[in-house]
Amino acid sequence: MARVGVITFPGSLDDRDAARAVRIAGGEPVELWHADTSLQGVDAVVLPGGFSYGDYLRAGAIARFAPLMEELIPAAKAGLPVLGICNGFQVLAEAHLLPGALMPNAEGHFVCRDQRLRVENAATAWTSEYAQGQEIVVPLKNMDGRFTASAETVEELESSGRVVARYMDVNPNGSLNDIAGVTNEAGNVVGLMPHPEHAVESLTGPTTDGLGFFTSIVKGLINA
Amino acid sequence: MSGTDNVALAGRTPDQPQPYKELGMNEEEYRKVRDILRRRPTASELAIYSVMWSEHCSYKSSKIYLRQFGEKAPKTDKLLVGMGENAGVVDVGQGWAVTFKVESHNHPSFVEPHQGAATGVGGIVRDIISMGARPVAVMDSLRFGAADAPDTRRVLPGVVSGIGGYGNCLGLPNIGGETVFDPCYQDNPLVNALCIGVLRHEDIHKASASGVGNKVVLYGSYTGPDGIGGASVLASASFDEESQAKRPSVQVGDPFMEKLLIECSLELFHKGLVEGIQDLGAAGVSCATTELAAGGTGGMDVQLDRVPLRDPNLLPEEILMSESQERMMAVVTPANVDEFMAVCARYEVPATVIGEVTDTGRLVMTWHGEVIVDIPPRTAAHDGPVYERPVAVPADQARLQADTPGRLPRPSTRDELRKTVMWLAGSPNLADKEWITSQYDRYVLGNTVLAQPENAGVIRLDDETGLGVALALDGNGRYTRLDPYAGAQLALSEAYRNVAATGAQPLAVTNCLNFGSPEDPGVMWQFSKATEGLADACLALGIPVTGGNVSFYNQTGSTPINPTPVIGVLGVHADVRRRTAMAFAAEGHKLVLLGTTREEFGGSEWAHVMYGHLGGLPPMVDLPAEAALGSVLITAAQETLLSGAHDLSDGGLSQALVEASLRGGLGVRVALQGDPFTELFSESVARAVVAVRPEAETRFVDICTQAGVPFTTIGVVGGDSFTVDGLFSIPLHELREAHTGTLPNLMA
């Protein structure tokens, strides 16, 4: 069974939910503690949402220096599948595993809504279960979700198909090009501002559209 | 250390003037302290007694009335811990228990809306942690001045960002509540925050310090000068003026530390490292030490100079009164201290042993070796003054009740009725509150089954069995102003109905009683009637009060607010997969109106919105009808007979249909039998409108008949407009615009 680690930083909030999503997708969630120094041989890693260290500095800026990140960064560069959700995306951007930065929302306050997205790249390790261009609805909830990067970086992301998901209907936070998620060049590291782990059960989510991120990795690892 | 007032000095200087009046004590209370101690109190002791005997901590004006919640409590085997502890604990089955409580943070939220509201959430969450429970959701009940008043644009966004900023950062879903505007709250908004926690039966922890030799550990944030401002009188006379200069009067919240405290405390409980626990809220160290000591072996020695400080210049009496947030106090056996400290270190939570439990019957505190406190802790924690304040019917009460809405012109033409539907749907109190609720995380923890604007919040407790709970929070200040006894009962009635509408069985009650000054006999009369009404209604409905909070002195100028008891009802779902949601989303399902509609407009939303009128009597209370309606809604949910259900309350049938239609994205077509105005806008209690699954119609009629609940098929779900046969048809998009545009426009 695919073993997917979920890192808990001080202030992580959606760690249990990410673990539940892995379980529902058929994988085995493995709790990872920020201060540990071993990835326990997991096959993939999720950095969950939350407010690590209270986001009192820039979101993700302190978590990125956690001891476990020193293990994660080289592993990710060597191909370990890593998904950063919301605060996890912010940590990955701060760690330069992903390009760009996440700034405070354009409207200046927290936004929680059911957000329609288009999957723009269905070839990453975390999106292979989706069809290219598929539209999905998952919750979005953040304070610092405005994706920003230099014009060159955005151009490069767009031309190389590294925009993983895009906001539809409304741009909830002022992100450049309506970008909701991006991937690295190799396609193993994905950062996503919306929360697919909150759309895995019809009882508690607006849809079950988010499950694909987790089945993608679980099936991909089994087939690999 | 020279200059610190101590017990020896107090014995030698009996006549030294003391600032008891500035600390809010009257002469009689000060005399009582001197009688207890048989000498004058030290500055530190005076600080302890003044805060512990304050209205806020001692309930001295309300105690004689609150007793009836216990005396009249219905017999139940569901209550594992009753009133008196930090929060009551209710058995919800399968070995699970739930604790819940609502508390006010009204005045701080007016002074500094963001921090005031944030620390209100923080305080109630710590109450829940100290019962050994994991906090799993929050709700809030808010009252502001007129929606278009300039100051509302300062207070509301601040309160909302404070509640959101704190709750979101803690990872607690906000699952419901209410927001009401009325000019009577202009200079005194109400911010009532509720938290619900869950635990296994065996994990209940109580606030007591037992076991001689056990250590007293203070953990969490460092202590600073915040929150002492209200008692800045300490600056007078013998106190150091220098250290007073820069202190904020409102506490500042650190939700990140609170999140660490939650996880740290739960691990401490889980590992069995805690003998007794108390959160530090109002009155800080004073409250925690006296209550822990009074609740346990009876004595405690504390080295107050060991309290870690953010500001090294704090005086001992300031440390005792500080309301710095995110602090807890635990009693730990000596053998467990090292492991306790290791858990705290893992979460990077500072922890310090500051004392130990004794059997001396005295709370003794030292400051660098000098004894500065030596008191019997019960005298501060439990034996404070109790007042039976004068009560008198307010002078304008009879005139108010005589001024019925019967004199107000009513809509009669089709166009007037149509416009009234639209005006109500877009009025600030009934308008969509998404501008507020979209700033709260309702998804975190992954167990939210229903959240605002649903009838009640519903969360799952157990992934496997589907066990869950429903919670609703309701209050109506206008009803309570017109008739306080009925008003409190109507609030309970509505919360009960909301919980039952989801299909949950109501189990227990919490309350936050927001009133004006207890020194005003008219306010005290309102309070006496409201508490009596609530206790009687809880008995009638068979659901006990498990705890609550009293907030007095809510005034705008010399005018008290409308008395506003906010009532929370907790219900249980054996399986949340069988809950009923409010949306009408199934084309062709028949709409059935349950209950009896009378011509009742006193205190109604219609009279308020159209005429700013408040007079007459509120709707008639009918608790047996409420219980019968509840039983129908619960059975129908268990048998999944309904595709949607919505309670009728403010704005009557019209507003209920508007909300359920917009939620489901489908129209409704109804035909009305009697006077359309009364049918559409009356606020009679014990009513709901439901959409019945076609295959379940016969069974549903049986259930209603058996329960004796009147039912009328009024129409059908479908189309894209709100249509009343022969009267009007309003396209849904037009309604949606009116309903959702109001708040964004006001706050733009």
Task: Encode pLDDT of B574-597 as tens digits.
Answer: 999 999 999 999 999 999 999 999
Count of Cβ atoms closer than 10 Å to residue A135 Cβ: 13
Domain boundaries, chain B: 1-71+205-384, 425-444+580-748
Can you give the pLDDT at residue B84? 60
Can you give the pLDDT at residue B239? 35
Can you give the pLDDT at residue B232? 34
Residue B527 has pLDDT above 50, yes or no: yes
Percent over 90 (pLDDT), chain B = 81
Can you give the pLDDT at residue B85? 55
Say whether residue A146 is in contact with chain B using an 8 A CB cutoff.
no
Can you give the pLDDT at residue B13? 94
What is the dotted CATH code of the domain comprising B425-444+580-748? 3.90.650.10
Handedness of CA B42, B48, B49, B55 (dihedral sign): positive
The reply, when asked if residue B548 is annotated as ligand binding, is yes
Residue B229 has pLDDT above 60, yes or no: no
Residue A167 has pLDDT above 80, yes or no: yes
**CA dist list (Å): B66 to B19, B87, B546, B730:** 31, 15, 11, 48
Q: How confident is the model at residue B203 (pLDDT cuts 50, 70, 90)?
A: confident
Q: How confident is the model at residue B238 (pLDDT cuts 50, 70, 90)?
A: very low
B157 chain-A contacts, CB cut-off 8 A: 109
Residue B207 has pLDDT above 70, yes or no: no
Residues 6+ apart with CB under 8 A from B202: none
Task: Encode pLDDT of B672-684 as tens digits.
Answer: 999 999 999 999 9
Task: Encode pLDDT of B132-184 as tens digits.
Answer: 899 999 999 999 999 999 999 999 999 999 999 999 999 999 999 999 999 99
The topology (CATH level 3) of B1-71+205-384 is Phosphoribosyl-aminoimidazole Synthetase; Chain A, domain 2 (3.90.650)
Of A54, A112, A204, nearest to B440 by CB-CB distance is A112
Q: Taking the model in full, what pTM does it have?
A: 0.94
Which conformational region is residue A100 in: left (phi greater than 0), alpha (psi within -120 to 50 degrees), or beta? left
Instruction: Name the active-site residue from A34, A94, A120, A195.
Output: A195
A residues 30..49 contacting B (CB < 8 A): 35, 49
Task: Encode pLDDT of B374-390 as tens digits.
Answer: 999 999 988 899 999 99
Residue A224 has pLDDT above 50, yes or no: yes
Can you give the pLDDT at residue B237? 33
Q: How confident is the model at residue A63 (pLDDT cuts 50, 70, 90)?
A: confident
Residue B231 has pLDDT above 80, yes or no: no
Q: Which residue of B has its CA nearest to A52?
A: B256
Q: Which residue of B has its CA nearest to A111?
A: B439
Say whether residue A109 is in contact with chain B using an 8 A CB cutoff.
yes
Give the C-alpha separation, B309 to B283, whole Å: 16
Run of H or E residues at B532: helix B521-541
Told to judge if A96 belongs to the known catalytic residues of this protein, a careful annotator would answer no
Beta carbons of A17 and B348 less than 8 Å apart: no
Of A10, A141, A205, nearest to B347 by CB-CB distance is A10
Handedness of CA B246, B252, B256, B257 (dihedral sign): positive
Give the C-alpha separation, A73 to B198, whole Å: 37
- Look-up of token digits 């005295």: B362
**Mean pLDDT along residues B324-346:** 95
**Best CA proximity match to B477, nearest among B184, B193, B108:** B184
Residue B233 has pLDDT above 70, yes or no: no
B260 chain-A contacts, CB cut-off 8 A: 10-11
- Look-up of token digits 């009597």: B617
Rg of chain B in Å (alpha carbons): 27
**Mean pLDDT along residues B69-97:** 83
**Mean pLDDT along residues B468-476:** 98
One fold for B1-71+205-384 and B425-444+580-748: yes
Beta carbons of B256 and A51 less than 8 Å apart: yes
Strand partners for B647? B688
C-beta separation of B677 from B599 below 8 A: no
The reply, when asked if residue B249 is annotated as ligand binding, is no
- The two structure tokens encoding residue B255: 């939700």
Residue B650 has pLDDT above 50, yes or no: yes
**Mean pLDDT along residues A119-136:** 97
Beta carbons of B444 and A20 less than 8 Å apart: no
B253 chain-A contacts, CB cut-off 8 A: none
Say whether residue A11 is in contact with chain B using an 8 A CB cutoff.
yes
Beta carbons of A204 and B171 less than 8 Å apart: no
Q: How confident is the model at residue B234 (pLDDT cuts 50, 70, 90)?
A: very low
When scoring B441, B454, B575, B743 by the number of chain A Cβ atoms within 10 A, the one with the most, hence best to mutate, is B441
The reply, when asked if residue B441 is annotated as ligand binding, is no
Beta carbons of B161 and A110 less than 8 Å apart: yes
Of B256, B439, B441, nearest to A109 by CB-CB distance is B439
Instruction: Name the active-site residue from A71, A86, A94, A120.
Output: A86
CA of B445 vs chain A CAs: smallest distance (Å): 6
Of B256, B441, B577, nearest to A112 by CB-CB distance is B441
Residues 6+ apart with CB under 8 A from B688: B497, B501, B593, B594, B595, B629, B633, B645, B646, B647, B648, B656
Q: How confident is the model at residue B610 (pLDDT cuts 50, 70, 90)?
A: very high
Say whether residue A65 is in contact with chain B using an 8 A CB cutoff.
no
> Which of A5 and B56 is assigned the larger pLDDT?
A5
Q: How confident is the model at residue B193 (pLDDT cuts 50, 70, 90)?
A: very high
CA of B26 vs chain A CAs: smallest distance (Å): 43
A14 chain-B contacts, CB cut-off 8 A: 171, 444, 446
Q: How confident is the model at residue B70 (pLDDT cuts 50, 70, 90)?
A: confident
Q: Which residue of A has its CA nearest to B459?
A: A204
Residue B247 has pLDDT above 90, yes or no: no
B171 chain-A contacts, CB cut-off 8 A: 13-14, 50
Told to judge if A195 belongs to the known catalytic residues of this protein, a careful annotator would answer yes
Residues of B in CB contact (< 8 Å) with A are: 157, 161, 164-165, 168-171, 254-257, 259-260, 346-348, 437-449, 460, 463, 576-577
B442 chain-A contacts, CB cut-off 8 A: 112
Residue B513 has pLDDT above 60, yes or no: yes
Average pLDDT score, chain B: 92
> Which of B732 and B296 is assigned the larger pLDDT?
B732
Strand partners for B512? B549, B566
Q: The complex's ipTM? A: 0.95
Can you give the pLDDT at residue B141? 97
A111 chain-B contacts, CB cut-off 8 A: 438-439
Of A50, A143, A195, nearest to B171 by CB-CB distance is A50
C-beta separation of A138 from A210 below 8 A: yes
Percent over 90 (pLDDT), chain A = 89
B444 chain-A contacts, CB cut-off 8 A: 13-14, 17, 49, 141, 198
Residue B418 has pLDDT above 90, yes or no: yes
Residue B227 has pLDDT above 80, yes or no: no
Can you give the pLDDT at residue B206? 65
C-beta separation of B100 from B510 below 8 A: yes
Told to judge if A197 belongs to the known catalytic residues of this protein, a careful annotator would answer yes
